[in-house]
Amino acid sequence: MAIMTHPITPFTTPPTTHVHLSTSISKATSLPQLKQVHTQILRQNLSDSDALLLNLILSSIPLPSSLHYSLSVFSTLQKPQTHLINKLFREVSRSKEPHNALLFLENGRRNGMEVDRFSFPPLLKAASRAFALREGMEIHGLGCKLGFDSDPFIQTALLGMYAACGKIEDARLVFDKMSERDIVTWDIMIDGYCQNGLFDDVLVLLEEMRSSNVEPDSRVFTTILSACGQTGNLAIGKVIHELISGNNIIADSRLQSSLISMYAGCGCMDLAQNLYDKLSQKNLVVSTAMISGYSKAGQVEAARSIFYQITNKDLVCWSAMISGYAESAQPQEALKLLDEMQASGVKPDQVTMLSVISACANLGALDQAKRIHMIVDKYRFREALPVNNALIDMYAKCGYLDGARGVFGRMRRKNVISWTSMISAHAIHGEAYQALMLFRQMKEPNWITFVAVLYACSHAGLVDEGQQIFSSMVNEYNITPKLEHYGCMVDLYGRANRLREALELVETMPMAPNVVIWGSLMAACRIHGEYELGEFAAKRLLELDPEHDGAYVFLSNFYAKGKRWENVGEVRQLMKHNGILKERGYSKIEMDHEIHEFLTSDKSHKHADDIYAKLDEVVCKLMQVGYAPNTSVVLIDVNEDEKKDVVLLHSEKLALCYGLLKSNRGSPIHIIKNLRICEDCHNFMKLASKVFEREIVVRDRTRFHHYRGGSCSCKDYW
């Protein structure tokens, strides 16, 4: 029997080995696991391992701290096939870190890697997404060098890169050189003009497009309408609407939604609602746009009506309504809605939390603030820089400076907003020297930082320091003063009773003084009894803002102090004729996670009898240590006894008494007041803090007062 022989063939890797290793790569969830697979590939000495190594790289890219490893593996590839390299570029350009594709290109070119025309579109896409103009221009140069610059796919990618990076003129140069322009190309160029705010060029380009026998489709119009809605460009939006109607373009659901979103974004809610009502099916995107539009227009009830008609609300929809409440001075509703959202199984994102934190800051409720901070930690937002900055502001506005300090101290990364927020926190709490200390530690303050630190100086009477800082802003930091800085300086001089210098500054400013500056001068005159200059400032203020209630009140009070009751009557008659009402003073206090609000002489609270009984007790005890009602703050034509009754029933006194009734003994009492605290209430709070051995924190219109042991943090300078 013949013995059959076979030729000896070289050893080849069994297909099962490749499958096994590929499976191991796909299942790996950490860098150490991938490194173990990498070791197996090396031990097998596979002759065709490039594909496996490429899969290894692609699997490692999403993992944290993997870039160095990915690049090191990439550099070991001997002569990888171009189609494999292009696959890598495509995948990375679509990832969360598109810039990494450019790093792989740089690494590969150093090692002699070759690219072809299919390499350029994903690389340029990566440059677009990463806004990497320099690298994008280098890729453009490489494409020209290799003779690919006339490839229509590369030209389209170049166009997108320059437009995304804001180099609209360079984008137009590429666009004009293109021999073939499809609808996608025109859309990219139009979008580029829109994103750069060049809407007149958009209309010209539309005409060019139509004369080139390319009819704009709904996608092009959607692009323009979206940009108009975002920028509030109603005029162009209406032109596009007329083009759609005049050319009998079928408005599909997407285009209809874009029209509604455009009108809503521009605040034309009647037109938006008219189109919205005609929709046979109202999708979530357009309903959310309507909610945002109504909220921005201050029509939060209309927004809520649409919101509660939506059955399957997504995160964006919830966030829009929460933001609407937060921006419409309804912070409690915003916080309630956050609870509803979580109960429905929708987790908040960073945008939602920023709205909620802002709402809590406006509310000034410390217990709520601490609860919101717990939610931030629960959803792991504590490393997010914008969230931490917002938390600093929230705690500061809720009267908890230690909380703001704690957030600031724990932050691993800080930016100019972080530092400025903390400086502002110290400033509104009367800690001017701490604000100055932080300011001196900063490397690159911006113009807002200087507003914060000048504010700190003005509220502490640090005139010399304020003058030096104002000078350094101009001479050392090359920051041109804005109205806000001049306003702080006028306030600084005015509070320090240096009214002549304040007036000189107003008269020599390089720009016309605004309402805030005349208001600061007027307020300083009220504090120091300089009523003639104050009358002058008030009248200048009314020339700029004829409906400014504060100026009318100042004039009325000025005339009342001089017992010029006829003039008082004239001012009040003018207010009545113009429909101007004096802002009513109110005070709020948080008890058991509920906000209680009081007006002057308020008897609407369910515990009013107990509150008034407590007030009698408090007044009696304070009189024993020297308190006497300061009736000079009452500027109405009534007798002295009536004036005493008025001043004793101010809203912050009622809030304090409720706090003494309901809070735990020894715990701080936090009160929020919408107007400046009066001299009588300020003295009342100081004495109450001593007699009842309680810290009392009052947030008025401009700052915080911390009353402890009979004294105030403002040192009676407010």
Distance CA 337, CA 334 (A): 5
Is the pLDDT at 12 greater than 50, yes or no?
no
Q: Does the pLDDT value for residue 125 go beyond 50?
A: yes
Q: Which two tokens stand for residue 554?
A: 């100042």
pLDDT tens-digit map of 88-100: 888 888 888 888 8
Backbone angles phi, psi at 479, to 5 degrees: -100, 120
| Residue 155 pLDDT grade (very low, low, confident, very high; cuts 50, 70, 90) | very high
Mean pLDDT of the 533-560 span: 90
Given a cut of 50, is residue 9 above it in pLDDT?
no
pLDDT at 713: 92
Q: What is the mean pLDDT of residues 326-336?
A: 85
> Token pair of 694, please?
């309680």
Q: Which residues pair with 596 in a beta bridge?
A: 589
Dump pLDDT digits (tens) for 358-375: 888 988 888 889 999 999
Among 421-425, 572-576, 594-598, name the most confident range.
Answer: 421-425
pLDDT at 249: 67
Judging by DSSP bridges, how do beta strands 711-712 and 696-699 pair with one another? unpaired
Banded model confidence at residue 17, pLDDT cuts 50, 70, 90: low
The phi and psi torsions of 114 (rounded to 5 degrees) equal -100, 150
Where is 100: in which H helix or E strand?
Answer: helix 99-110
Beta-carbon contacts of 64 under 8 Å, excluding residues fewer than 6 positions away, are none
Three-state SS for 441-452 is HCCCCCHHHHHH
Report the interhelical angle of 67-75 vs 31-44 (nearest 10°): 10
pTM comes to 0.72
Indicate the average pLDDT of the chain: 87
Name the pLDDT band for 282 (thresholds 50, 70, 90). confident
Examine the pLDDT at 243 and tell me if it is beyond 50: yes
- 513, pLDDT greater than 70: yes
Q: 46 Cβ partners below 8 Å, 6+ apart?
A: 13, 17, 18, 52
Please report which confidence band the pLDDT of residue 7 belongs to, taking 50, 70 and 90 as the band edges: very low
Q: In whole angstroms, how large is the CA radius of gyration of the chain?
A: 34
Beta strands 594-599 and 669-673, pairing class: unpaired
Residue 715 has pLDDT above 50, yes or no: yes
For residues 105 and 479, give the distance between their C-alpha atoms in angstroms, rounded to a whole number: 41
Handedness of CA 527, 530, 532, 537 (dihedral sign): negative
Write the pLDDT tens digit of every residue in 45-84: 664 567 777 777 777 777 777 777 777 777 777 777 888 7
Mean pLDDT of 125-142: 92
Q: Which of 109-118, 306-315, 636-645 has the lowest mean pLDDT?
A: 636-645
Q: Minimal CA–CA distance to 517: which of 480, 547, 492, 554?
A: 492
In DSSP terms, 595 is beta-bridged to 590
Q: What is the pLDDT of residue 434?
A: 96
Nearest residue to 161 via CA among 197, 125, 122: 125
Counting residues of the chain whose pLDDT is more than 90, the rounded percentage is: 50
Nearest in space to 199 (alpha carbons), one of 168, 177, 178: 168
Identify the sign of the CA torsion 398, 402, 406, 408: positive
Q: Tell me the percentage of the chain whose pLDDT exceeds 70.
A: 93
What region, left, alpha or beta, does residue 634 occupy, with left being phi > 0 and alpha being psi -120 to 50 degrees?
beta
Burial class (CB in 10 A: 0-12, 13-18, 19+), 192: buried
Q: Which residues of 323-353 are buried (b: 16+ CB within 10 A; e: fewer)?
A: bbbbbbebbbbbbebbeebeeeebebeeebb
The contacts of residue 376 (CB under 8 Å, 6+ apart) are 353, 357, 382, 387, 391
pLDDT of the residue at 24 = 72
Instruction: Record the tokens describing residue 217, joined without a space.
Output: 């489709």
In this structure, which amino acid lies at residue 492?
L
Sheet holding 669-673, edge to edge: 594-599, 586-591, 669-673, 696-699, 704-708, 711-712
| Neighbouring-strand partners of residue 598 | 587
Res. 442: pLDDT tops 60: yes
- Per-residue pLDDT, averaged over 623-635, amounts to 82
Instruction: Assess contact for 462 and 495: CB atoms under 8 A.
Output: no
| 3-state SS class at 83 | helix
At residue 13, the pLDDT reads 45
Please check the confidence at residue 417 and state whether its pLDDT lies above 90.
Answer: yes
Question: In the predicted model, is pLDDT for residue 120 greater than 50?
Answer: yes
**Contacts within 8 Å (CB) and 24+ apart, 254-260:** 254/218, 254/222, 255/218, 255/221, 255/222, 255/225, 256/286, 257/283, 257/285, 257/286, 257/289, 258/221, 258/222, 258/225, 258/226, 258/229, 259/225, 260/286, 260/289, 260/290
Half-sphere exposure of 424 (CA within 13 A, CB side): 22
- DSSP for 512-557, please give it: ---HHHHHHHHHHHHHHT-HHHHHHHHHHHHHH-TT-HHHHHHHHH
Q: How many helices (H) and strands (E) does the chain have?
A: 38, 6
pLDDT digits (tens, 9 = 90+) for 392-410: 999 999 999 999 999 999 9
Q: Comparing C-alpha atoms, which of 391, 459, 471 is closest to residue 426?
A: 459
pLDDT value of position 481:
95
7: Cβ–Cβ under 8 A, 6 or more apart, which residues? none
How far is the CA of 56 from the CAs of 43, 62, 72, 88, 110, in angstroms? 15, 11, 12, 11, 21
Question: What is the rounded average pLDDT of the residues 485-499?
Answer: 95
Q: What is the spatial distance between Cα 57 and Cα 39, in angstroms, rounded to a whole number? A: 14
Region 156-185: mean pLDDT is 90
Is pLDDT above 50 for 1?
Answer: no
Give the pLDDT of residue 11: 39
Give the separation between CA 493 and CA 623, rounded to whole angstroms.
36
- Give bridge partners of residue 705 from the DSSP assignment: 698
CA-based nearest residue to 225, from 212, 213, 216, 238: 238
Which has the minimum average pLDDT: 36-40, 125-129, 344-348, 697-701?
A: 36-40
pLDDT of 5 over the 50 cut: no
